[in-house]
Amino acid sequence: MNLTVIGTGYVGLVTGTCFSAMGNNVTCVDIDTKKIEDLKKGKIPIYEPGLEQMVKKNFDKKTLHFSTKLNDGLEKAKVVFIAVGTPMGDDGSADLQYVLSVAKQLGKEMINPLVVVDKSTVPVGTGDKVKAVIQKELDKRDVDIEFHVVSNPEFLKEGAAIEDFMKPDRIVIGADSEKGFDIMKDLYAPFTHNHDRIITMDIRSAEMTKYVANAMLATKISFMNEVANICELVGADVNQVRIGIGSDTRIGYSFIYPGSGYGGSCFPKDVKALKKIAEDKGYKARLITSVEDVNDRQKLVIADKVVKHFGEDLNGKIFALWGLAFKPGTDDMREAPAIYIVKELARRGAKIQAYDPKAMDEAQYFYLKDVKEITYFNSKYETLQNADAMILLTEWKEFRSPDFEELKQQLKTPVIFDGRNQYSTLNLKDKGFDYYQIGVKNN
């Protein structure tokens, strides 16, 4: 099938590449000339395991194409995916200007029947707006071209996006026409051979499903972090509590790990957007508001532990920081706890020596570019030189089993602040460390 994907950000690039890998002829369109030229050379703008190799392979096979011109993709396209950004506005709402701009351009340039798919995460009712904008442009041209608007939200985890796309646990399709459903079912048929994972519904329900899914996962995280803070106050161990409740199949173990809060491009933005959607209808979403409040506070819990141990004034103190990305497997630092912790420690006079396998450029040139107190190193052990303590914020695999004797020799004082409870089972106190984790009263 001939497809066009508009937008070559995280969602668009993964979507176009994975569809091309299944034999479809895909054209990815973006207005960013440099990005398109880089993609043609095999340089991708994000880190996602396996994606760069897949892009190169399918570009060389000529099933994946890149262009800055929309009409390059429209000539033969049967399906067009809108995968442009929906940045968060000051009030928490999703900004639809790019989505609607694409819809307007489609209405101006489409020449054949199309299925237009909203792949971007968009507020409920966006499908209706996209349909109206396209129809308005067609009316201006005085042409009658059949088109169908579909909502097909993505459920990709950063760090596992290719696996999630190629082996989805569900494919949500929202449409208001049988033709829209049929074409999308044909497109996704290769992904559902073993089990029919396609869930069909109306467009508004599909749009809502994406927000609710992310808000539900964010709720589990904030709930467990709230429990962790209570455990710490009463002398319970949240790691043991987690095992106790996770064994209940109604609860399960997923997303109940205590830590320094959630970050990334999806959870923070989608929780705010869902809250705003409710507010716009006159409803105060108290639980969702609390999820956000708990998470905002949780990002500074490790900084609080540092201050409690070393005192309010951190002048002259140096901290080794392991991990900058909001989670392992990505270079994404959007809303990462590291941003808030680094800035708080620097505000108190501390210096930071940081290492992350993938996110250091993001930190150095964007998210922490104004923080003069941070220095970046090429390995985790280099950060330990003259440091007063080590702080773990991202659970990369290479951090799971460090040489603790090396840590003890390099650090001025054997102190570890574990923002992900990675070492909770290792009894580091017996190894001579002052060990601080989330949700446990005694170090």
Residues marked active site are found at: 266
> Whole-angstrom Cα distance, residue 130 to residue 185?
21
As beta bridge partners, residue 391 has 321, 417
Tokens of 348: 């108190």
DSSP calls for 189-227: GGG-SSS--EEEE-HHHHHHHHHHHHHHHHHHHHHHHHH
Collapse the DSSP code of 82 into the 3-class scheme (helix H, G, I; strand E, B; otherwise coil) and give the result: strand
CA 77, 78, 79: angle at the middle one, nearest 5? 95
Distances (CA, A) of 397 to 52, 211, 213, 384, 391: 21, 30, 27, 18, 16
CA 307, 311, 315: angle at the middle one, nearest 5? 95
> Rounded to the nearest 5°, which phi and psi values hold at 3?
-125, 150
Provide the edge-to-edge strand list for the sheet that holds 64-67.
Answer: 64-67, 25-29, 2-6, 79-82, 114-118, 147-151, 171-175, 198-201
Question: From the CB of residue 240, how many other CB atoms can be counted at a distance below 10 Å?
Answer: 12
Tokens of 105: 């351009």
CA 338, 341, 347: angle at the middle one, nearest 5? 135
Q: Which of 397, 157, 111 is nearest to 267 (CA)?
A: 157
The secondary structure of residue 313, as a DSSP letter, is -
The secondary structure of residue 333, as a DSSP letter, is -
- How many distinct helices (H) and strands (E) make up the chain? 16, 14
Question: From the CB of residue 281, how many other CB atoms can be counted at a distance below 10 Å?
Answer: 9
Residue 268 C-alpha from the chain's centroid: 9
**Contact 44/195 with Cβ under 8 angstroms?**
no
